[in-house]
Amino acid sequence: MTQPDVQAQAAVPGYPAAPGHPAAQGYPAAPGYPVAYLPPPPGRFTRMLTRAYARAPGWLAPAAVLGCFAAAAAYVLYTDPAHADADAVPTCLVKLTTGFDCPGCGGTRAFYYALHGNIPAAARHHAVFVFALPFLVYLYVAWASDRVFHRRLPQPRITGRMIGVFLAAWGVFAVARNLPWAPFNWLYV
């Protein structure tokens, strides 16, 4: 950024003019416009959250995620979705109203069976969930070990193409599990 650009930005009230400050750097100006776009300065709430995040210990975020997972697991174990009625909580609104399995139908039951170590029954209820589960667990362990112990595990490179292929396979699974003939009717829960 040239010196006149910084001087032009310094004339805008409410923005600090320090050369290293992010608000003083701004974004490149579009052709034909004399002043670059300046991001708004952070508000009080944003500054408070930023300070709290900087002061928080490294283990807090992984512990919070693990606590949310433990609460979800306890809820699933308590409600026992594998032996519940169709209209019992938690329920799938799509299946309740249309009779078709939605892309997520059976995920809670698959989670229930995975918590009990019954992987074939979990795959019977939601095969895509069982496929994704080890990857999700590894991503959490790699992230948590980096945050807590400062030990970097090898991170898988997740590209946009991989996400697209996974979502396409999930979409094919969602359609195939509603087909009424063999072998697809095995996927219907």
For the chain, the structural domain boundaries read 3-53, 58-187
Assessment of whether the complete model's pTM goes beyond 0.85: no
Give the helix ranges, DSSP H, for the chain.
Answer: 3-10, 22-25, 44-55, 60-79, 93-98, 107-115, 119-125, 127-149, 160-176
- pLDDT over 70, % of the chain: 76
For the chain, residues with pLDDT lower than 50 are 1, 3-18, 21-24
pLDDT of the residue at 26: 55
> CA 136 from chain center: how many Å?
10
